[in-house]
Structure 1
Amino acid sequence: MKNVQKLLARAGVAAAAAVPAVSFAAVDVTEALAELSGGTAAVAALGGAALVIIAAAAVFRLVRRAV
């Protein structure tokens, strides 16, 4: 049980650390694509999807290293 608690704590710290950095990168990409294409709805959807994928990958890597 103690190992599970440690793993959950590390996963929470990893997620908290990854989300701000990922959100800044996603905003920059979204703004750049919006200027190039002119379509804000599609770019917002693309940026949101990229944000979720990048955050999930970062958390997965950090949790994987902790195990």
Structure 2
Amino acid sequence: MFELQGAFGGVEVQVACDGIQDVGGDAAVRPGQFVIGSFWASDNTCVICRSGYPSSCVHHVLI
């Protein structure tokens, strides 16, 4: 896993990224795909999430 840290546009950013090794069931990803994950969870109900920007959710929580 790679970890990227830094300030981008004045916003502190930390994400994890890696390649998919194995999936099961109805996964939306396939082995070999590269993914980037956030350490924040969004609720997908606020106006910002519904506008397509869940990374800026007003109800975000650290996971």
Q: TM-score range by the shorter chain?
A: under 0.3
More strand by share: 2
Output the TM-score relative to the length of structure 1.
Answer: 0.23
More helix by share: 1
Which structure is richer in relative contact order (CA contacts within 8 A, separation 6 or more)? 1
Output the TM-score relative to the length of structure 2.
Answer: 0.24
The structure having more radius of gyration, on CA atoms, is: 1
